[in-house]
Structure 1
Amino acid sequence: MSDYNKIVVGTDGSKSSLLAVERAAKMAAAFDATLIIGCAYYENKEEASKTLRQDSVTILGDDKAKANLSAGREHAEKFGVKSIETAVRPGTPVQALMAIVNEFGADLLVVGNRGINSLTGRLLGSVPADVARQSDCDVMIVHTVN
């Protein structure tokens, strides 16, 4: 097993995404890694309406995204992580997560499984499946929803 030094996890503020944050935080604590919690947002309703899939919470504006990051950080701190950073990026969840992974040089990306088994996810793709295909680092898909 390789060591992970930088672990990225995405959150949209939902209960299921906080389960992914929890798993990533536990791994970051175990590896003494930096945890980077990321959140995507749409700059306006027009941008949000361009996305074909609705497998994640639509976040308009970076204020809501920053609030989600704050909640994610607070949750992650409960699991003994020594180093936590946050990153907010405009765009789809996939675009934002890939930008954060590349910018921070992450070794591991942790995402929840929301959307992966839905009809829309099967037809159009899902955030977990799309990041797994696009990522240059390891991807862990956490079982967060049935």
Structure 2
Amino acid sequence: MAAYQTIVVGTDGSDSSFRAVDRAAAIAADADATLVIASAYHPARQEDVARLQDQLGPDVAYQVVGSTPAEEAVRTASERARFAGAKKIDTVVVDGEPVPTLTRLVNERSADLLVVGNRGLNTLAGRILGSVPSEAARKSTVDVLIVHTT
């Protein structure tokens, strides 16, 4: 089997997800593969933003302008990936749910490895409601690495 060419990894900005990014970056560095770092999110609804701005008033120090938490997550993950030795890095921020976003990216980028952390895999809620790692493993059409991150 040839080395991996394109690796997709998801992050939500948590320490756990950053550990998955670190592992994916190390693999990408070893294989000279492209690393696609993705974060799925749902933007704040305009009515929620307006309500919060009314509550905050002129105190702009607490008003969020510009980037989303997902953009900050992929920016931080990209820095970590470079530090881990990955050279070809692409970041993607998508409005959507994690698993459909990751599986779509795997297909769009012709990735041959999907990397996710194990957070939620062994929790009661994860067993009853499902978790990102278990659903990603079930729905992926490529190799899936579930990194022990918790």
TM-score band, normalised by the shorter chain? 0.7 to 0.9
**How far apart are residue 62 of structure 1 and its match?**
6.5
**How far apart are residue 64 of structure 1 and its match?**
1.4
> Residues 16-67 of structure 1: CA distance to partner in whole angstroms, max 9, x if unpaired?
111000000000000000000000001346xxxxxxxxxxxxxxx9621111
Residue equivalent to 1:83? 88
Kindly report the root-mean-square deviation, in angstroms, between the aligned alpha carbons of the 2 structures: 1.5
Structure 2 gap segments, 5+ residues each? 46-65
In the TM superposition, what are the counterparts of 1:119-130 in structure 2 within 5 Å?
119-130=124-135
Are 2:10 and 1:10 aligned?
A: yes
Q: How far, CA to CA, are the matches of 1:87 and 1:99 in structure 2?
A: 12
8 Å CA contact 1:5, 1:106 repeated in 2: yes
Q: How far, CA to CA, are the matches of 1:2 and 1:117 in structure 2?
A: 32
Fraction of identical pairs, as percent: 54
TM-score, normalisation: structure 2? 0.82
Counterpart residue type for residue 3 of structure 1: A
Q: 1:103 to 1:68 in 2, by over 3 A?
A: same
State the secondary structure of the residue aligned to 2:68. Answer: helix
> Residues 59-99 of structure 1: CA distance to partner in whole angstroms, max 9, x if unpaired?
xx962111111000001101111100011111111121112
TM-score, normalisation: structure 1? 0.84
Are 2:95 and 1:95 aligned?
A: no
Counterpart residue type for residue 96 of structure 2: G
Residue equivalent to 2:29? 29
Q: Which has the larger radius of gyration?
A: 2
State the secondary structure of the residue aligned to 2:89. Answer: strand
Runs of 4+ in 1 over 4 A off after TM superposition: none
Residue equivalent to 1:135? 140
Structure 1 gap segments, 5+ residues each? 46-60
Counterpart residue type for residue 121 of structure 1: G
1:74 to 47, 68, 79: 79
State the secondary structure of the residue aligned to 1:37. Answer: strand
